[in-house]
Amino acid sequence: MAKPVLLTVDDDPEVLRAVERDLRRRYAEHYRVLRADSGATALEALRGLKRRGDSVALLLVDQRMPQMTGVEFLGQAMEIFPNAKRVLLTAYADTDAAIRAINDASIHHYLLKPWDPPEEHLYPVLDDLLDDWMGSYRPPFEGVRVLGTRWSPHSYTIRDFLTRNQTPYQWIDVETAGQVAEVRRLIEAAGAEAASLPKVLFPDGTSLADPSVGELAERLGLRIRPEVAFYDLVIAGGGPAGLAAAVYGASEGLSTVLIEMEAPGGQAGMSSRIENYLGFPSGLSGGDLARRAVAQARRFGVEILSPQQITGLVVEGPSKTVKLATGSDIGCKALLIATGVAYRKLNVPGADRLQGCGVYYGSAMTEAQECKGEDVYIVGGANSAGQAAMYFSKYARQVVMLVRGPSLSATMSQYLIDQIKKTPNIKVETHCQVTEVHGDTHLEAVSIHCAETGDTSTVPTNLLSIFIGAEPNTDWLSGVVERDERGFILTGADLLRDGKMPKGWQLERNPYWVETNVTGVFAAGDVRHGSVKRVASGVGEGSIAVQFTHQYLSEV
């Protein structure tokens, strides 16, 4: 298989040779480095690469070129290779144009000339961009394959699990792909009968028929059992708060294990695009953020157990014991609960029956390409719903947002509202709610009630994505950790009633800001009562919780 291509474009022969030299020095082992002396020549080269089925990872282009500027070239190049990382090489005088190009040409970065030494000014930027590109790269060779049908809830569960755990795979819908001779031979060779679907095929020729998520995780080599029985810090939940705490805890010398029920990233990891997170002017997906954070945590020695579920907590003096669904226990000095929240269920006729076969909770990004030419309905008006609407708008004929309130302004960031207004195939229906979903084997239609007119209409659709409210998963803490009436964990000053310490409190001091009624048990992120439901605030609370953990450990 041919290596992915790095293409550099510059009309100055000396600069072009220098860029090519530096790229080859660093990346020749894993990439092919090509060069072109004009935008027109480069576009022709890209078309040839496209015809041959090659992959382009990076376009590094000078801004000031005759006939075609770097921005103009990148605007055309992204139509040929939309996933290639785009970097503009500029002089200091062109920085304003480069910044504008972040929006106009969707460039990912700009670099100032000269870039010497490349070890400081070139390679760190390109390393990061190429790591990102590799995270979503789907090479032409065959890896894990999933055979199933679109309307199978278990097929969706497997695809969603693989996607969220950053495992590349090929999806084959046997009902639509069976006419292709190669796919038909694959199905016959695998012996995939209808009763054994979904079937997961592995590169070594082995397969799993109708596997559970746990079986699939074990086959893929994901860790679900702890290496040791006792840790300084156990973190329950792998969203932004949990991952941030893992990075800070392990980097500061605490033996740390993170336990995640589904996949690292949590609810944020399902976001198709996060554009207001500090330090990422072009935005990034929740999956990219999760991948970066997991790599950072592992670099510091964090042990990650996923998928793994916590079923209980036992506290005996300063010792805490976390019970796992596999039957094993993990002891720890301190525990951070960062289990986040789940979307509230849509309580209307048909919703439970059709979940996973047209009715989905969260962005359901694995279904986006299946929706080409279809109408998609999204329930909810917060940021997650807006991000999903923008994502689905790239594939669907029309995206309809159903919002109970009078507008989006009370629940959604302004940048998302502005994007939605500028997207012609997104329609926002206010004062509306779903009253019933219809279909036999899969979703076929939804009934929508408009509070303003009093009318109820039924419209055809194959996909309903739900983002309504949030419910914490904290039942496993019952009788141990104090929670509010909705199940969110009480911490700090919220535990003090009439100035009195919480029941069972063992120290003379008040509970720390993110500490629960159990000394040494902390809560951070969306699961904490009164928290701000944003990625950045979750990261902040997770990192702060580690500082309080250190203070607690110094006391015992």
Question: What separation in angstroms does the CA of 437 have from each of 363, 400, 462?
Answer: 18, 15, 10
Q: Which residue stretches of 52-152 are H helix?
A: 70-80, 95-104, 118-121, 123-136
Residues 6 or more apart whose CB falls under 8 angstroms from that of 425 comprise: 393, 396, 397, 398, 399
Cβ atoms of residues 378 and 400 within 8 Å: yes
Residue 463: its pLDDT value, please?
95
Token readout for 368 is 């986006």
For 236, half-sphere exposure in the C-beta direction (CA atoms, 13 angstrom radius) is 31
pLDDT bucket at 183, cuts 50 / 70 / 90? low
- Out of 9-23, 145-159, 164-178, 431-445, least confident range: 164-178
Question: What separation in angstroms does the CA of 398 have from each of 348, 392, 449?
Answer: 24, 9, 19
Q: 503-530: string of b/e by CB count within 10 Å (b at 16+)?
A: eebeeeeebbbbbbbbbbbbbbbbbbbe
User: What is the average pLDDT value for the chain, to the nearest integer?
Assistant: 89
DSSP labels, 469-513: --EE--GGGTTTS-B-TTSPBP-GGGG-BTTBPPTT--SSSPPPT
pLDDT bucket at 281, cuts 50 / 70 / 90? confident
Token readout for 547 is 């500082």
| The dihedral sign for the CA sequence 355, 359, 364, 369 | positive
Residue 179 predicted with pLDDT over 60: no
pLDDT bucket at 194, cuts 50 / 70 / 90? very low
| The dihedral sign for the CA sequence 91, 97, 99, 102 | negative
Q: Mean pLDDT throughout 270-277?
A: 83
Token readout for 222 is 């994901």
Q: Mean pLDDT throughout 117-142?
A: 83
Say which DSSP state 343 is in: P
Residues 6 or more apart whose CB falls under 8 angstroms from that of 192 comprise: 147, 174, 199, 209
Q: What is the pLDDT of residues 36-48, one digit of tens each?
A: 999 999 999 998 8
Q: 128-162: string of b/e by CB count within 10 Å (b at 16+)?
A: ebbebbebeeeeeeeebbbbbbbbbebbbbbbbbb
Residue 63: its pLDDT value, please?
85
Token readout for 113 is 């000339």
Scan for tokens 């700009």, then name that residue.
110
- Out of 181-190, 209-218, 335-344, 433-442, least confident range: 181-190
Length reported for the chain: 556
Q: What is the pLDDT of residues 378-415, one digit of tens each?
A: 999 999 999 999 999 999 999 999 999 999 998 899 99
Task: Classify 341 as helix, strand or coil.
Answer: strand
Q: Which domains does the chain have, with CATH numbers?
A: 5-136 (3.40.50.2300), 144-220 (3.40.30.10), 230-342+471-553 (3.50.50.60), 359-466 (3.50.50.60)
Residue 178 predicted with pLDDT over 60: no
CA dist 342 and 361 (Å) reads 9
Residue 540: its pLDDT value, please?
96
CA dist 120 and 362 (Å) reads 40
Highest mean pLDDT among 107-121, 132-146, 350-364, 430-444: 430-444
- Out of 91-100, 293-302, 375-384, 526-535, least confident range: 91-100
Residue 545 predicted with pLDDT over 60: yes
CA dist 218 and 112 (Å) reads 46
Say which DSSP state 86 is in: E
Q: What is the pLDDT of residues 108-125, one digit of tens each?
A: 888 887 888 888 888 999
Q: Mean pLDDT throughout 485-511?
A: 88
Question: What separation in angstroms does the CA of 121 have from each of 8, 72, 125, 173?
Answer: 16, 24, 7, 46
Q: Mean pLDDT throughout 9-13?
A: 92
Q: In terms of Cα–Cα distance, which of 518, 136, 61, 482 is closest to 317?
A: 518
Residue 147 predicted with pLDDT over 90: no
Residue 121: its pLDDT value, please?
86
Scan for tokens 């004009």, then name that residue.
38
Q: What is the pLDDT of residues 317-366, one digit of tens each?
A: 888 999 999 889 999 999 999 999 988 999 999 999 999 999 999 877 88
pLDDT bucket at 306, cuts 50 / 70 / 90? very high
pLDDT bucket at 506, cuts 50 / 70 / 90? confident
> In terms of DSSP bridges, do strands 207-209 and 256-259 run parallel, antiparallel, or are they unpaired?
unpaired
Residue 184: its pLDDT value, please?
58
Residue 177: its pLDDT value, please?
56
Q: In terms of Cα–Cα distance, which of 311, 348, 362 is closest to 160?
A: 362
Indicate the residue type of 507: L
Residue 469 predicted with pLDDT over 70: yes
Q: Nearest 5 degrees, angle CA 351-CA 194-CA 170?
A: 80
Q: Mean pLDDT throughout 221-228?
A: 91
| 498 vs 352, residue with greater confidence | 352
Q: Mean pLDDT throughout 277-302?
A: 90
Residue 139 predicted with pLDDT over 70: no
Can you say how many angstroms the Cα of residue 327 is from the centroid of all Cα atoms in its chain? 29
pLDDT bucket at 456, cuts 50 / 70 / 90? very high
pLDDT bucket at 1, cuts 50 / 70 / 90? low
